[in-house]
Structure 1
Amino acid sequence: MPKSLFWARTDTAGCEHVVLDDGQGLTAQGVALAVDPIPYTCRYRLAVGPDWSTNRLEVESEGAGWSRSVRLERGRDGWRVRTGEEGDLDAALSAAGHPPAGLPGTDDPGRLAEALDVDLGGSPLTNTLPIRRVGLGRLPADLATAVSVAWVLLPGLAVVPAEQVYTSLGPGRVRYSSDTFTADLEVDPDGFVVRYPGLAERVDPR
């Protein structure tokens, strides 16, 4: 049966809703909205194989006077990245006092060669991908696992390689670290985030 998950952002005004099926890997379609750094809507489609490594991510973001898209697809020869752009996001960011986002995608997909997971900026859903892929719930507490991800920044959709570390803290708790950032996540038995301190909390039907 498909699942429906909804998160409210706690760092800014925003939310995310995704409908997914995790019976054989993961297929998901989601929508995320936020007001920072400027108001935007993001729509994404995600396909993850039975081994929980990512096969494809398609993302579209849009706001007043601009829209962008990126498609990441992983094959035997590495990642293929396709992008689209209309309007001027950087002008909108500049008018709001923010630095430019640069171009969507990446000029060197080879930099993503080691990535088996994707991380969509601000999305609690994509934390589940490495948690399920490495079987973090079955690992001893305090055992750290390093992963390489293709990090998709919002709203600009630049794609950059990133190194992240996931550590089991016991049932229902996972520590996520990247560079100097650390957050202790609360997750359900299926590895989906319930609470991400400083970012989002899941809202379940009453």
Structure 2
Amino acid sequence: MPKSLFWARTDTAGSEHVVFDDGAGLGAQGVVLAVDPIPYTCRYRLTVGPDWATSRLEVEAEGAGWQRSVRLEPAGDRWRVTAAEQGDLDAALRAAGHPAAGLPGLDDPDRLAGAVDVDLGGSPLFNTLPVRRLGLAPAATTTSPPGAAEPGAAHRITVAWVQVPSLMVLPAEQVYTALGPGRVRFASETFTTELDVDPGGWVLRYPGLAERIAPR
């Protein structure tokens, strides 16, 4: 049976709702809504293999007068990145007093060499991908080496980071550290936070970004 999760944003007005099946890897469809830097709707479709490595991500973002899309697929040792744009997001950003976002996608896919996971800006769902793949959650079923989830065990990874709403794709270095049951430290460059996760590795609380809301 499909499952669903819902998060309320705590950094701005917004939310995320995802419907998924994690019986063998992950198949997910989600919607992210936010008003910052300008109001937008972001829809994604994600496919992850039984080893929890990403096999496909499709993202569409749209707002008043603009629409963008990007698709990422691993292709051997490289990533295939396809992007499109209609309208003018940069004009909408400038009208709201924000700098231009740049083009969607990635000019040189070779920059993603070594990336196994993807990360969608503003979405706590995507933190679950490395948590599960690295075996940092009790319910994780991976081929992680023994001790991967012991407190203090740190894992440095490269991800394909999709910025929202621009859908620009960048390589990003991230570190996930097991802190004990239900706690994982997440770090990227100078940013560090501690995630609360459930036994399945799904984020309950991402300080400064989102909190999960249980259905009533």
Under a length normalisation based on structure 2, what TM-score does the superposition of the two structures give? 0.94
Matched, 1:193 2:203: yes
CA RMSD of superposed structures (Å): 0.7
- Which one of 155, 166, 169 corresponds to residue 176 of structure 2? 166
Q: Structure 1 residue 58: deviation in Å?
A: 0.1
Amino acid at match of 1:28: A
Q: Structure 1 residue 77: deviation in Å?
A: 4.2
Contact 1:26-1:47 within 8 A present in 2 as well:
yes
Matched, 1:147 2:157: yes
Amino acid at match of 2:30: G
SS in structure 2 opposite 1:114?
coil
1 CA distance for matches of 2:53 and 2:158?
11
Identity %: 73
Contact 1:26-1:49 within 8 A present in 2 as well:
yes
Q: Structure 1 residue 75: deviation in Å?
A: 2.1
Under a length normalisation based on structure 1, what TM-score does the superposition of the two structures give? 0.99
SS in structure 1 opposite 2:130?
helix
SS in structure 2 opposite 1:33?
strand
Structural mapping, 1:55-70, within 5 Å: 55-70=55-70
Structural mapping, 1:1-206, within 5 Å: 1-137=1-137, 139-206=149-216
> Aligned residue for 2:145?
none
After the TM superposition, list the runs of 4 or more consecutive aligned residues in structure 1 that deviate by more than 3 angstroms. none
Q: Which runs of 5+ in 2 are unaligned?
A: 138-147
2 CA distance for matches of 1:23 and 1:112?
28
Q: Structure 1 residue 113: deviation in Å?
A: 1.5
Contact 1:41-1:63 within 8 A present in 2 as well:
yes
Q: Which runs of 5+ in 1 are unaligned?
A: none
2 CA distance for matches of 1:173 and 1:3?
22
1 CA distance for matches of 2:107 and 2:76?
19
SS in structure 2 opposite 1:136?
coil
1 CA distance for matches of 2:173 and 2:17?
26
Amino acid at match of 2:21: D
Amino acid at match of 2:49: G
Would you say how many aligned residue pairs link Structure 1 and Structure 2? 206
Deviation per residue, 1:90-122 (Å, 9 max, x gap): 000001111111000000001012100000000
Amino acid at match of 1:148: T
1 CA distance for matches of 2:69 and 2:85?
6
